[in-house]
Amino acid sequence: MDTISLDRMGAKTTGIDLSDKAIARAQELADQIGSNSKFIQSDIYDLADKLDAQFDIVYTSYGTIGWLPDMDKWAKIVSKFLKPGGQFIFVEFHPVVWMFDEQFDKIGYNYFNV
């Protein structure tokens, strides 16, 4: 959704996801609205095998880094795909957010899922 939203604001966008289902759905949505977004299904650590480009902005969205086993390697990948002088935009949250009830009024769930 972020990739398509940025495209709709005028950016030339490429979205990356590990999930082939997520990529298929993103492409379907992009096609439905006439977005020019490009999508690549890839493990981020293998992305250099599928993409040879640099970008003005590299954007990492919510819920991604918690799944990454090698943060140093990931940071080098971000750097590889970011043009000199480009911007890295990183949006994340702490998993404590999942403790709150559906209205975010009170703690509804145990952090340790017990």
Residue 7 inside a domain? The answer is yes
Q: Residue 102's pLDDT is what?
A: 87
Residue 46 inside a domain? The answer is no
Residue 64 inside a domain? The answer is yes
Which pTM does this prediction carry?
Answer: 0.79
Range of the domain at 5: 1-41
Q: Are residues 73 and 28 in the same domain?
A: no
Q: What is the pLDDT along the chain (114 residues), one digit of tens a residue?
A: 899 999 999 999 999 999 999 999 999 999 999 999 999 999 999 999 999 999 999 999 887 887 889 999 999 999 999 999 999 999 988 778 778 888 889 888 887 766
Q: Are residues 67 and 109 in the same domain?
A: yes
What's the 3-state SS for 26-94? Answer: HHHHHHHHCCCCEEEECCHHHHHHCCCCCEEEEEECCCCHHHCCCHHHHHHHHHHHEEEEEEEEECCCC
